[in-house]
Structure 1
Amino acid sequence: MGKILAIDYGEKRIGLAVTDDMKMIAFGLTTVNTPEIFTYLSDYIPREHVETIVVGEPKQMDNTASESEVHIAPFLVKLAEKFPTIPIKRHDERFTSKMAFQTMLDSGLKKKQRRNKALVDEISATIILQDFLKTV
């Protein structure tokens, strides 16, 4: 069985999360610097048998695309070119950064740890993936 990989795209960093083999639970995977993402994915995807990729879709409150979508669109094109046999799905990512920060607060992380934007990105990817799993 393959896994589902979630991507929280950012211009500087990309948060990644992945499911277990049964596609029931989302786990934070890591955060990768954006320029290094395709090197990372080229190694990870075949090794871990990723069968679907979910990319966060940032939207405004009125359901229109957010301004960051202009940066995500070229990434999606390249992702589809590099991994043509893997379906790429989009999933609404509104409020995931706020939810990630709240998760950090609720888990008792110290202020210095909460400033770790890479951790916020990884938690955001996990939230995107866990929410996506509810729809499958």
Structure 2
Amino acid sequence: MGRILAIDYGLKRTGIAVTDELQIIASGLTTVLTNDLISFLKDYIKKEKVELFLIGEPKQMNNSPSESEALIIPFIKKLDNVFPNIPIKRVDERFTSKMAFQTMIDSGLKKNQRKNKALIDEISATLILQSYLYSK
């Protein structure tokens, strides 16, 4: 089995999380600058087998796409062109940033540590991945 890799795509930074090879545990991997994302993924996939990409799907409360969806669609097309043999699934990402922030509070991080937006992005990707694993 290969890993599942979750992506919390952002304009500046993108959070990434992965499963173990048995696809049981979701772990935050890193946050990368969005401009470096494809390059990072190419390097990662040379070292690890990735079976599936999960990409957060931002939605409004009324279930309509959020405005950031317009940035994600071109990325998905590029991802599909670069990695045509790895399927892509979308996962509702509503509330993941709020949940990530709450996770930071619950884990005892100090106020200045909670301002680390890169960490929030990584935790958000982990929450997207964990939600997918629960739904399987």
TM-score after normalising by structure 1:
0.98
The Cα of 1:117 is off from its aligned counterpart by: 0.1
Which consecutive residues of structure 1, in runs of 5 or more, have no partner in the other structure?
none
- Residue 122 (structure 2) pairs with residue 122 (structure 1): yes
Query: 1:21 matched to which residue of 2?
Result: 21
- Residue 54 (structure 2) pairs with residue 54 (structure 1): yes
The Cα of 1:36 is off from its aligned counterpart by: 0.4
Identical aligned residues as a percent: 65
Please tell me the residue identity of whatever aligns with 1:84: P
Match of 1:61, SS state, is coil
The Cα of 1:73 is off from its aligned counterpart by: 0.6
Query: 1:103 matched to which residue of 2?
Result: 103
TM-score after normalising by structure 2:
0.98
The Cα of 1:105 is off from its aligned counterpart by: 0.3
Matches within 5 A, 1:1-136: 1-136=1-136
What is the CA–CA distance in structure 2 between the aligned matches of 1:104 and 1:120, rounded to whole Å? 8
Which consecutive residues of structure 2, in runs of 5 or more, have no partner in the other structure?
none
What is the CA–CA distance in structure 2 between the aligned matches of 1:91 and 1:14, rounded to whole Å? 15
Structure 1 residue ranges (4+ consecutive) displaced by more than 4 angstroms after TM superposition: none
- Provide the aligned C-alpha RMSD in A: 0.6
Aligned length: 136
What are the Cα deviations for residues 91-123 of structure 1, in whole angstroms up to 9, with x where unaligned? Answer: 000000000000000000011110000000000
